[in-house]
Amino acid sequence: MDTADFVVVANRLPVDRVVDADGGESWRTSPGGLVAALEPVMKTVDGAWVGWAGQADVQLEPFVANDIRLIPIALSAQEVAEYYEGFANDTIWPLYHDVIAPPQYHREWWDAYVTVNRRFAEAAAGAVAEGGTVWVHDYQLQLVPEMVRALRPDVTIGYFHHIPFPAHGLYAQLPWRDQVLRGLLGADVIGFQRAQDANYFLAAVRRRLQYNVKGAMVDVPGETGTRPVLAKAFPISIDTAPYLELIDKPEVRARAAEIRESLGNPQRILLGVDRLDYTKGIRHRIKAYGELLAEGRLSVEDVTLIQVASPSRERVDAYVQLRDEIELSVARINGDTDTMGHSAIRYLHQGFPREEMVALYLAADVMLVTALRDGMNLVAKEYIATRADNRGVLVLSEFTGAADELRQAIRVNPHDIEGLKDAIMTAVEMEPAQQGRRMRSLRRRVLEHDVKAWSSSFLEALAAVRSRRG
């Protein structure tokens, strides 16, 4: 295969391979916000995408899908267990999300992480043209920037970190903390979601490696002098166009009305949309809502909560446990409060296509984003994009990256259940005029700072640092 000027490296390809019961193969869009953010960028460049097809022990040749050249990386079942479910999602993920769940430290998992990162780096190094650009994404691949630089010193390397970077007191737990910092510093530009993440990273570099840090620039010592690396916030956003198109479609609007109808036409629909993950604060949200019903501040005749919890990382213990806890509390609340015509919570442990998500957003009067920690949270931005009539209220956790930008949301600390209950009541009772004032300002922000603004600002910074390096 020809080399490409622009190579994206991410744990997942933009499409997952799925095999049905009769052995038939098909492809479906990968989970998570990363793919949705990068796909529009890829369509505008001569690019290739290096990633995993989402199944163990599958060797695939490079192929083209939706005009993007895809380069699949094979992972054995043991690597899926040790690199993906283990080090990425049971060590780094909980550690970087403020140890909401306890991170597990296992040396074999680290070894698998190094091996798999090298495989991704070698594939990227083989795919990129002379003097081209490699853009590495997310916590699964933190060692790839340094590995690509060693193989291909001619290329420009960007890294974007989609999840939070933890405070030093937590980061210092990681037995391989110095290796990970050096891995990231192989990039020319390291992008974070929030200024806080970039600051924590720079503090870790100063304290652990004693490198010279001036503002957002790090001098990384090498054999031939020092190399400048920029570490800074570039808050990610969504591609607003498909949302704006869908909200004008009569069938999507009809579907929103149908959803309302099927819930018994409650006065208010509350909505939560998350991967089923302990970082998302789904339990806290359900607890607060359940108490409001129990105390009679809300009634099932008037309100319904739709909670979409899409299946995620289903073989990792912390996720198995969380699912049990959530499903127990949903069943209890519904059991205690449902009537024949009205249900307290409509719980859906399923993923849905974008059309259905937009219909849900249109049907929802209040959107609840109560994450205990979240890099950005694109669901908050998707909801806002769909509110063309400037109605609707967003309740947003201050522990999300989105909270830095979406100042007109109702801010909550999800650990404070009383505060969360009050915020839900404020949202449910908010007058249309105030909804409009807040939503107009939120929409302005999301429509102006869309995913194209995000990728151009990152890629411009990358070009600038590269030219400084000469």
* Interaction site with ligand G6P (CB under 6 A): 11-12, 31-34, 89, 138, 162-163, 312-313
- Shortest CB 17 distance to ligand G6P, Å: 14
379 vs 424 by CB, closer to ligand G6P: 379
User: By C-beta, is 163 or 303 nearer to ligand G6P?
Assistant: 163
Instruction: Give the span between the Cα atoms of 219 and 206, in whole angstroms.
Output: 10
- What are the Cα distances from residue 414, in Å, to 146, 336, 419? 38, 24, 8
Q: Which residue is nearest to ligand G6P (CB)?
A: 32
Of the pair 162, 232, the CB lying nearest ligand G6P is at 162
How many angstroms separate the CA atoms of 236 and 454, rounded?
Answer: 6
Q: Return the amino acid letter for 172.
A: A
Choice between 96 and 200, CB closer to ligand G6P: 96
Least Å from the CB of residue 373 to ligand G6P: 12
Nearest to 295 by CA among 418, 431, 428: 418
CB of 190 to ligand G6P, least distance (A): 15
Beta strands in 365-404 (DSSP E): 366-369, 393-397
- Nearer Cβ to ligand G6P (39/138): 138
For the CB of residue 341, give the shortest distance to ligand G6P in the complex, in Å: 37
Closer residue to ligand G6P (CB): 125 or 163: 163
Q: CB within 8 A of 323, min separation 6: which ones?
A: 276, 309, 314, 349
- Minimum Å gap between C-beta 183 and ligand G6P is 16
Residue number with CB closer to ligand G6P (351 or 419): 351
Judged by CB, which is closer to ligand G6P: 33, or 414?
33
Least distance in angstroms from the C-beta of 413 to ligand G6P: 23
At its nearest, how many Å lie between ligand G6P and the CB of residue 376?
Answer: 9
- Distance (Å, whole) CA 337 – CA 304: 11
HSE (CB half, 13 Å, CA atoms) of 425?
A: 16
Whole-number Å distance between alpha carbons of 163 and 80:
20
Evaluate whether 455 touches 422 at the Cβ level (below 8 Å).
no
Distance CA 55, CA 75 (A): 8
Least Å from the CB of residue 422 to ligand G6P: 30
CA angle 181, 186, 192 (to 5 degrees): 65
Q: Taking each helix axis from N to C terminus, what angle separates 378-386 and 432-448, rounded to the nearest 10 degrees?
A: 120
Residue with smaller CB distance to ligand G6P, 32 or 436? 32
- Going by C-alpha positions, the residue among 183, 125, 136 that lies closest to residue 162 is 136
User: What's the closest the beta carbon of residue 229 comes to ligand G6P, in angstroms?
Assistant: 22
* Shortest distance, position 85 Cβ to ligand G6P, whole Å: 9
Q: Among residues 33 and 290, whose Cβ is nearest to ligand G6P?
A: 33
C-beta of 188 vs 374, nearer to ligand G6P: 374
The answer to whether the beta carbons of residues 50 and 124 sit under 8 Å apart is yes
**CA 210, 214, 215 angle in degrees (round to 5)?**
125
Check: CB of residue 162 under 8 Å from CB of residue 136. no
- Separation CA 435–CA 156 (nearest Å): 45
Distance (Å, whole) CA 325 – CA 203:
37
Give the distance, in angstroms, between the CA of residue 434 and the centroid of all CA atoms in the same chain: 30
* Burial degree of 153 (CB within 10 A; 0-12, 13-18, 19+): exposed
Shortest distance, position 96 Cβ to ligand G6P, whole Å: 10
Q: Would you state the structure tokens that stand for residue 23, as one six-digit string?
A: 């052995």
Q: What is the DSSP letter of 374?
A: B
